[in-house]
């Protein structure tokens, strides 16, 4: 998609606490030492994406925030944790290395589904075609990795787990691509109702 200077690349996500980001920095360091050729996003940008919006106009922000408020109705604060690692799309063609999200994930599935439905009606954002799989992206593979190396890597880090972290709301972020990677700026935060 051609970038429109008046539009902002945006997404809705759950923020990850700094204590968890520090554990991912350590994990990324271990993955780098394993010899995999990949780009490693800065843990500063680590987030749990619920809905990628693409390029939105500033005029749509209010509608998106109202949609987010509708989507969080009935969702209570809950606890999640990251566990193990996996790859997309497959072991034979690993492109993304990720860590899975565990805990009260039913809330995440509800949120992703509600955001899909509400935003399609509100501003025509396309529904996701793939099933929602909560994860945190650790690396983007640059050079093909042998399937046996991928299996070994998954096995090596199968016991990786973060402490539980509390989730109290969702955020709307804008993302700007720079030569040093993506920079994410929070536009708004919508609290779950207590």
* pLDDT tens, position by position, 12-40: 999 999 999 999 999 999 999 888 889 99
Residues 27 and 136 sit within 8 Å (Cβ to Cβ): no
Give the count of alpha carbons within 13 A of 13, CB side only.
Answer: 23
Q: What confidence score (pLDDT) does residue 42 get?
A: 86
Residue 100 in domain:
yes
- Given this model, what pLDDT does residue 5 score? 55
Q: For residue 110, what is the domain's CATH number?
A: 3.90.1140.10
Distance CA 43, CA 18 (A): 9
pLDDT of 178 above 90:
no
Q: Report d(CA 9, CA 1) in Å as an integer.
A: 11
Looking at residue 126, what is its pLDDT?
84
Reported confidence tier of residue 163, pLDDT bands at 50, 70, 90: very high
43, part of any domain: yes
Q: What is the pLDDT of residue 188?
A: 95
Domain assignment present for residue 78? The answer is yes
- Whole-angstrom distance, CA of residue 100 vs CA of residue 122: 30
The SS3 call for residue 107 is: helix
pTM summary value: 0.88
Q: Which structural domain, as residue segments, surrounds residue 37?
A: 8-191
Nearest to 50 by CA among 180, 177, 167: 167
3-class SS at 14?
strand
Calpha distance 167→76 (Å, rounded) = 9
Query: Is residue 3 over pLDDT 50?
Result: no
* Residues facing 191 on adjacent strands: 169
Domain annotation covers residue 181 = yes
pLDDT tens digits, residue range 93-144?
Answer: 999 999 999 999 999 999 999 999 999 888 888 888 888 899 999 999 999 9
| Number of independent structural domains in the chain | 1
Asked whether the beta carbons of 78 and 167 are under 8 A apart, the reply is yes
Q: Pick from 98, 103, 101, 94: which is nearest to 85 by CA?
A: 98
Q: In which band, very low, low, confident or very high, does the pLDDT at 180 lie, cut at 50, 70 and 90?
A: low
Residue 3 counted as domain residue: no
In a domain, residue 2? The reply is no
Domain assignment of residue 1, yes or no: no
Classify burial at 78, counting beta carbons within 10 Å of its beta carbon; exposed 0-12, middle 13-18, buried 19 or more.
middle
What are 39-96's pLDDT values in tens digits? 998 888 899 999 999 888 888 999 999 999 999 999 999 999 999 999 999 999 999 9
């Amino acid at each position: 998609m051609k970038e429109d200077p008046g539009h902002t690349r945006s997404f809705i996500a759950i923020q990850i606490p700094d204590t968890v980001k520090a554990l991912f920095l350590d994990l990324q360091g271990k993955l780098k030492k394993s010899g995999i050729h990949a780009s490693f996003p800065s843990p500063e940008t680590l987030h749990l994406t619920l809905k990628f919006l693409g390029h939105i106009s500033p005029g749509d922000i209010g509608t998106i925030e109202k949609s987010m408020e509708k989507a969080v109705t009935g969702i209570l604060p809950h606890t999640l944790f990251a566990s193990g690692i996996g790859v997309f799309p497959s072991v034979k063609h690993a492109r993304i290395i990720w860590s899975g999200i565990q805990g009260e994930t039913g809330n995440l599935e509800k949120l992703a589904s509600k955001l899909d439905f509400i935003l399609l009606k509100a501003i025509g954002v396309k529904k996701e075609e793939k099933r929602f799989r909560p994860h945190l992206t650790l690396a983007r593979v640059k050079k093909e990795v042998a399937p046996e190396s991928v299996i070994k890597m998954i096995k090596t880090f199968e016991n990786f787990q973060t402490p539980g972290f509390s989730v109290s709301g969702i955020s709307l972020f804008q993302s700007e691509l720079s030569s040093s990677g993506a920079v994410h700026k929070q536009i708004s935060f919508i609290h779950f109702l207590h």
